[in-house]
Amino acid sequence: MTDAKYIAVLDVGSSSARVHIYNEEATIILIKSAKVTALHPEPLQTEYDPEDLWKVCKGILEEAFAEVAPSRIRGLGITVMRNSVTAWERDSGKPLMPIISWQDRRAGKDCAIWNRSLRMRAFRAACWALYKLTGRAKFLAASVLQFKIGMPVIQLVKLFAENPALLERARRGEICVGCNESWLLWRLTEGRTFATDYSCASTTGMYDPFGLEWSPIVVSALLHMPLRMLPEVWPTAGQFGHTDLFPGGPVDITSISGDQSAATFGELCHQPDQVKVTLGTGTFLDWNTGKEPYASMKGLYPVIGWVIDGDQSGPTYMIEGSHADTGNTLDWGCAMGFYPSVSEAESAALTVADSGGVFFVPCFTWSAVPVFDPAACAGFLGVNLGTSREHMARALLEAVIFQTKAIAEAFRLETGKKPAVLRCNGGVSASDFIMQGIADLLDCDVVRGSNREATSLGCAFLTAIAAGLWSQAEIGQRFDSIERRFQPRPEAAQRLARDYEKWKVAVQRCYSWY
């Protein structure tokens, strides 16, 4: 493998799967992609066919390896949209359920019932008492635990309540329960490896980022589910086995990562207090907190960013604030005819001086920050007889700015800090209007990298580290490429700040709709 100089990345998102082949200069030399079909069997439900996802991913890997031989691949990395959960038979590999997406809302009522339940309240009270007794941050974090519908844990609670026979099979060790990365790894290794990485595990609602284990308190004691159904948790950059499915192989699998951890690594936010925001399907703001998990009291989720095998300093942690509806909000605006295409939304918005008092609340999926409300709805407020399509287009774009501000404000209230520099990536970051608005409203420099594929790039970096192609220090020195820096404008910030306060009132009007 000494002549193998290329890195392959399988990047699985909510609407597409892509394979990128990187050369030694971290440049993409080959792209293969295919559509991933989301299914909506009922209103508020989003799921995927596990076999269909596997066929799509295997197909584009076959296409890529037909052009760049597996013998030239130093390592394959997998990065996925997190928290999309499924189950399959351990012996046969047969799927037992659809992949339930992180965007799915079917467990919304179950989530609310559980969070208000006597058992959950007793659990929080016990954790608070343990925190006061021991001073351990893990109990402080657990004392404010709330399940959220984007977490696999609540989907599994609902699934097993409706299918007790499946729960019994899980207790007997007959089924595997995992998210996209574990399912794809299982198929690539032909059932030899049932694993995930720390970054993916830490966002499921079932993993203890303080103790670095699946939480027996939550999974077993609180929810009465078996730990044995869950995958092993391995370093993000490390050995995950190999695949023999492609002629000219094998190919070593040397990294698995959640999309937001990979994007944070790809944006070179490797040091404490470095911050990135991904504006893709959703908005995800991740703050590097260094080598200690942060016990949030404001609903910001402490997650593991990455673990590099052999790094004695241990995991790198982040706190994350997110909102589910960003790119899909702009896609919806295009479908409704507010602008001809998403790329032209900015042009439409700039034909008017402001939104004409119109505000949009982007809660197609749920509200997460400033208030978690799975029953919130999306909607325009302030529409009047003078409202034009251009006003509505501007309101849609400004909603992305305001939502990013809401997440950053939650960070400030929690930590007392604001970003010195915010590194942005994702498809929506192509909008100069949105980038400049974020810089104005957050009063910080916003940096957009020249490589918009930060998730794939970060996965490539982690894969290359484990494969021995690059070191983390070398990556930080060689590959920092900035396309544009947006600096705050005080005069624009004043108007945006006034409108942001009005937007927050509009958000409150959309709570508890469903």
Domain ranges of the chain: 321-510
Helix, strand or coil for residue 130? helix
The DSSP string of 17-32 is: EEEEEE-TTS-EEEEE
pTM, 2 dp: 0.91
Please state the φ and ψ torsions of residue 32, each to the nearest 5 degrees: -125, 135
Name the amino acid, one letter, at 501. Answer: E
The pLDDT of residue 238 is 97
8 Å CB contact between 325 and 402: no
| pLDDT tens profile 447-504 | 998 887 899 999 999 999 999 999 998 998 888 888 999 999 998 999 999 999 999 9
The pLDDT of residue 391 is 96
What pLDDT band is residue 148 in, cutting at 50, 70 and 90?
confident
Q: Cα torsion at 313, 315, 320, 325 (round to 10°)?
A: 140
Q: Percentage of the chain surpassing pLDDT 90?
A: 77
Question: Closest Cα partner for 214 from 178, 187, 190?
Answer: 178
| pLDDT tens profile 190-223 | 999 999 999 999 999 999 999 999 999 899 989 9
Cis, peptide link before residue 250, omega less than 30° from 0: yes
**Is the model's pLDDT at 281 over the cut of 80?**
yes
**Is the model's pLDDT at 411 over the cut of 90?**
no
The pLDDT of residue 141 is 83
8 Å CB contact between 264 and 288: yes
Q: Is residue 178 packed enough to be buried (19+ CB in 10 Å), middle (13-18) or exposed (0-12)?
A: buried
The DSSP string of 331-385 is: HHHHHTTSSSSGGGHHHHHTTSSS-TT-EEE--SS-B-SSS-BTT---EEES--T
The pLDDT of residue 442 is 95
Q: SS3 letters for 57-126?
A: HHHHHHHHHHHCCHHHEEEEEEEECCCCEEEEECCCCCECCCEECCCCCCCHHHHHHHHHCHHHHHHHHH
**Is the model's pLDDT at 405 over the cut of 80?**
yes
8 Å CB contact between 150 and 366: yes
Quote the CA–CA distance of 169 and 163 in Å, as a whole number: 10
Query: For 229, which DSSP code?
Result: G
Q: Give the tokens for residue 268.
A: 């070179």
The CATH number of the structural domain formed by 321-510 is 3.30.420.40
What pLDDT band is residue 292 in, cutting at 50, 70 and 90?
confident
Question: Closest Cα partner for 40 from 104, 134, 127?
Answer: 104
Helix, strand or coil for residue 299? coil
What pLDDT band is residue 163 in, cutting at 50, 70 and 90?
very high
Q: Is residue 163 packed enough to be buried (19+ CB in 10 Å), middle (13-18) or exposed (0-12)?
A: middle
What pLDDT band is residue 1 in, cutting at 50, 70 and 90?
very low
Quote the CA–CA distance of 74 and 79 in Å, as a whole number: 17
| pLDDT tens profile 310-359 | 888 899 999 988 888 999 999 999 999 999 998 899 999 999 999 999 99
Between strands 421-425 and 445-449, the pairing is: parallel
Sheet architecture: strand order including 445-449: 301-306, 316-323, 283-290, 275-279, 421-425, 445-449, 482-486
Size (the chain), residues:
514
The pLDDT of residue 249 is 83
The pLDDT of residue 370 is 63
What pLDDT band is residue 369 in, cutting at 50, 70 and 90?
low
Question: Given the structure tokens 């050369």, which residue do they identify?
Answer: 23
